Amino acid sequence: MIDWQDIATRLAGLASPAESARRCRLLSLTLPLRRWPDLALSNDGDWCYWQRPDRGLRMVGSGRALAVTSEGTSRFAALHAMQRSLLADWRHVAEGGQVPPAPLAFTGFAYAPQGDGPLPNASLWVPELLLRECDGICWVTLSCEANQIEAAPARWRGLWQALRAKRRSRTASCYQALRNPLEDEAFRARGRAALRAIGAGQVDKLVLTRALRLKAAVPAMACAVLDALAVRHRACATFGVAGNGKVFLGSSPETLLALSGSRVTVDSLAGTAWQEAAMLLGDDKNRREHDFVTRAISAALATLCHDIVVPEAPEVFRINALTHLRRRVTASRPPDVSVFDIVTRLHPTPAVGGTPTAAAIDWLAQHGDRRDVWYTGGIGWIDAAGACDIVVALRCGLLDGHEATLYAGAGFVEGSDPEQELAETEAKFSAMLSALVACPEECRVCNAA
């Protein structure tokens, strides 16, 4: 499918003295593909995955041509500096009859600016090999640092072969939840403490989180879980990042930031109901919870953007058994305002932390709220044209050998019931639970038997 000798010849031309005079830090070559290739996304591989089924987009990346990691209060400034450098020194060569998509970088970050784990606290990276399907048209983008141009073809070919390696036969997984009643009671107790803090006027809203640990004799294959998530959650962004034998994956309904030209889009998503509690969505508690988020997003955007449009009333956004209140807030950004300028102002929204933000973050830290990997942080992509699609990392989990850990949270405001909020987290766990036990005989992520 890929003529590696031809690619080596093209790169030799780009490395000629005349071409080398055109200075660049990163070089990307985009070529059309006849079809989406058969892939093997193994649990112990090194890859990243993104799919928006309702937008006809899916991507798989492997390797890191250029990457930066950071943590601490200046973490977004470090990512911004990397992005600015890329946009200034990124050369893109493309071939094919159709207009090719711009090359891109993936990004991901944790909820809090401190802490370590299986993923860096904050990261921005350009994959060496990127497969992309846009509305049925397929492309491969190959990237390398300009000073690595001679060694790049062999690296790319190795990554390609690793993605297409033969997978083991699929066996159904059977996960057992390692439940501890004391953990449920601890969540209720934290909920009661949160309500006391709200009643005392310390905060207006707090989002408390839980983790559910599971174990299986036969672990689920990441590719099958991604496939199940994409099929069940077509209106969501399905994502995955694999490395060091672990896979962080999920399907998020909440856009933290989407940029296209000057247009800015942010989701205000708060207020949840499910089949057993469908009547709750329109109650006063959910409306107030949603309004806190909408006001905070509008205020954050107002510091950088103009022409902010907030829908007068929220819409009902249904994702299988879960239903949310959503307002899609839009704005226009000046040319000098970047992705990370806006992310710095937005994150964390009251949808995942609470409000006022500083007081909520402090309260959660003092009461042992722990959020592993990138749960309630962000994950997405930024392209060389400055467009982006970054979602809040929700409805997600970590696969680690025979174990899996799922994450969910619920917002507390005045009038919340800790028992009801515990039930809400159980309903949110169901998105990943149903995907973990779904092992189709054919995996549409990999397109291979």
- Unique residue bearing structure tokens 């990999």: 446
C-alpha dist (Å) from residue 233 to 81, 230, 435 = 34, 5, 10
Two tokens, residue 19: 């071409």
What's the CA gap between 15 and 27, in Å, rounded?
11
- Unique residue bearing structure tokens 């809400």: 424
How many CA atoms lie less than 13 Å away from 408 in the CB half-sphere?
22
Which residue, 39, 37, 2, 33, is CA-closest to 165? 39
254 is catalytic: yes
- Catalytic hit among 128, 205, 424, 428: 205
What's the CA gap between 368 and 249, in Å, rounded?
24
What's the CA gap between 127 and 106, in Å, rounded?
8
What's the CA gap between 377 and 325, in Å, rounded?
20
C-alpha dist (Å) from residue 308 to 295, 302, 305, 316, 386 = 12, 7, 7, 21, 20
- Catalytic hit among 71, 128, 246, 254: 254
What's the CA gap between 132 and 375, in Å, rounded?
25
Q: SS3 of 423, please?
A: helix
166 is catalytic: no
Query: Do the beta carbons of residue 409 and residue 352 sit within 8 Å?
Result: yes
Q: Which amino acid is at 146?
A: A
Q: Specify the DSSP element, H or E, that contains 216.
A: strand 205-216
Torsion of CA 210, 216, 220, 225, to 10 degrees: -30
CB burial of residue 75 (10 Å; 0-12, 13-18, 19+): buried
Q: What are phi and psi of 32, to 5 degrees?
A: -75, 150
| Catalytic sites, residue numbers | 205, 254
